[in-house]
Amino acid sequence: MNIFRLAGDMTHLLSILVLLLKIYATKSCSGISRKTQELYAIVFMARYLDLFTDFISVYNTFMKLIFIASSLAIVWCMRFHPVVRRSYDRELDTFRYFFLVGASFALALVWHDKFTLQEVFWAFSIYLEAVAILPQLVLLQRSGNVDNLTGQYVFFLGAYRAFYILNWIYRYMTEPRFTRWIAGISGVVQTALYADFFYYYFISWKNNSKLKLPA
């Protein structure tokens, strides 16, 4: 564990807490893409297949459980909670994410560390996470003004993978033979997808204005 990876994990946890706060405090999920939440639930379930077979540390197991439980709880809220589900922007959240799932799985069948079920699903989860934010970014562009908590949620979600990139650079420099090409390249793509969001987020912070993404 290094400071970059810890910062990444804490930022990721923070993004989830901000999203839970937004849904709980406002009893609303307006501006949140359910499709992105569903993709993240798939990402965590596909990535943590080793949850009960490989014990790495209490921290590792605890965080995996938090990520799986929170993503499923958020999807459940957005689908079945009688109050929250009414504020779902159904007509705006129309990104056809089936292609993202299919393409990620196809790529995982081709490019993986080892051709085993666990490794193919791990690579699938890495590729899928890289594109999972797309429905959310599309929804933000369509829904015009973005409430503060939603903006902070997306910001922290993008920032966590940037910390992981620093972590991979650090490990590459300090650990012999450390390579994480699949996660590294996907992580760069994932963070790059946030580039324009980060730009408009910075502008709104500098001008102290409402966050607005151009349509």
Partner 1 sequence: KEEDDFKDEL
Instruction: Decide: is 50 part of the binding site for partner 1 (CB under 8 A).
Output: yes
Instruction: Decide: is 89 part of the binding site for partner 1 (CB under 8 A).
Output: no
Q: What share of the chain is helix, strand, coil (3-state, %, to 5)?
A: 75, 0, 25
- Between CA 203 and CA 183 the distance in angstroms is 30
**Smallest distance from the beta carbon of 75 to partner 1, in angstroms?**
19
List beta partners, residue 212. Answer: 145
Instruction: Decide: is 85 part of the binding site for partner 1 (CB under 8 A).
Output: no
Instruction: Decide: is 112 part of the binding site for partner 1 (CB under 8 A).
Output: no
**Smallest distance from the beta carbon of 177 to partner 1, in angstroms?**
6
* 52, 177, 195, 209: which one binds partner 1 (CB under 8 A): 177
- C-beta closer to partner 1: residue 25 or 173: 173
Q: What is the DSSP string of 160-171?
A: HHHHHHHHHHHH
Instruction: Decide: is 95 part of the binding site for partner 1 (CB under 8 A).
Output: no
- Closest by alpha carbon to 27, among 89, 81, 91? 81
**Smallest distance from the beta carbon of 80 to partner 1, in angstroms?**
27
3-state secondary structure 3-62: HHHHHHHHHHHHHHHHHHHHHHHHCCCCCCCHHHHHHHHHHHHHHCHHHCCCCCCHHHHH
Instruction: Decide: is 165 part of the binding site for partner 1 (CB under 8 A).
Output: no
Chain positions contacting partner 1, by CB under 8 A: 5, 9, 12, 50, 54, 56, 60, 63-64, 67, 113, 122, 164, 167, 175, 177-180, 183
